[in-house]
Homo-oligomer: A and B are copies of this chain.
């Protein structure tokens, strides 16, 4: 298997945001020769959308995605309306940044609810409500299935198959306006992963996120590993998305309270660059 193209590497800013602002992350990417970046919305707001857009353009960075829209389920109509409005703002921000997609993290159960089927229906309705504006802005929506351990509190879309069922329902013509973000951390375990990546095809693979699954994993949320430190066969999964013609970024998103968030971001970026080529 050939090594990945270093030009495809992208930094999801959550990997370094405990120590770096978005402005610092943009400069850091430029300094390290990392050609892609994926900012979180709180950081965009802190920097200012215009300033962020100007900075990424000035350095010629690819914005591999904006994190994140979604979070649709709510206990009442007002909550669902607020979620839709927030997603419309996120579409505008992604448009202003020239992002390749807006990543959608579905949202979990509303407080007090045990109705996961109902939450899933709300996600479907929420995406349907946002899709026309996303089409108009030419911002593809990338549904990111999250690991089943987040089904209750973060995302009730938990497999690639389920995300693609949503795509089939809401964009049956495969227009390119709706697709998926394939994150190896959330999907590596799935016995149907290869088949569902093939089902998605080039048109629906809008983003590819990498990191690693550590053994043991000490925390459900903040113990992701750097590529090569865990058990995910990254070259194999990359071969599956590349076989479909995926030629987008390889975005590195590492939540790591005990390790990488403790380190100097310049060190993190240097290791990330090396591991991208050597281990993924």
Q: Smallest Cβ distance from A188 to chain B, in angstroms? A: 8
Q: Smallest Cβ distance from A33 to chain B, in angstroms? A: 28
Q: Smallest Cβ distance from A115 to chain B, in angstroms? A: 7
Answer whether A153 and B191 are a contact pair too, CB < 8 Å, given A148-B147, A220-B220, A233-B114. Answer: no
CB proximity to B under 8 Å, residues A107-162: 109, 113-116, 120, 147-149, 151-153, 156, 158-159, 162
Answer whether A191 and B158 are a contact pair too, CB < 8 Å, given A114-B231, A220-B217. Answer: yes
Q: Smallest Cβ distance from A228 to chain B, in angstroms? A: 10
- A232 at interface (Cβ–Cβ under 8 A)? yes
Set of chain B residues within 8 Å of A116, measured between Cβ atoms: 188-189, 231, 233
Set of chain B residues within 8 Å of A153, measured between Cβ atoms: 215-216
Set of chain B residues within 8 Å of A162, measured between Cβ atoms: 191
CB closest chain-B residue, reference A112: B231
Answer whether A190 and B148 are a contact pair too, CB < 8 Å, given A153-B216, A215-B153. Answer: yes
Set of chain B residues within 8 Å of A156, measured between Cβ atoms: 189
- A213 at interface (Cβ–Cβ under 8 A)? yes
A148 contacts which of B115, B189, B220, B232 (Cβ < 8 Å)?
Answer: B189
- Cα A131 to Cα B232 in complex, Å, equals 31
Q: Smallest Cβ distance from A51 to chain B, in angstroms? A: 35
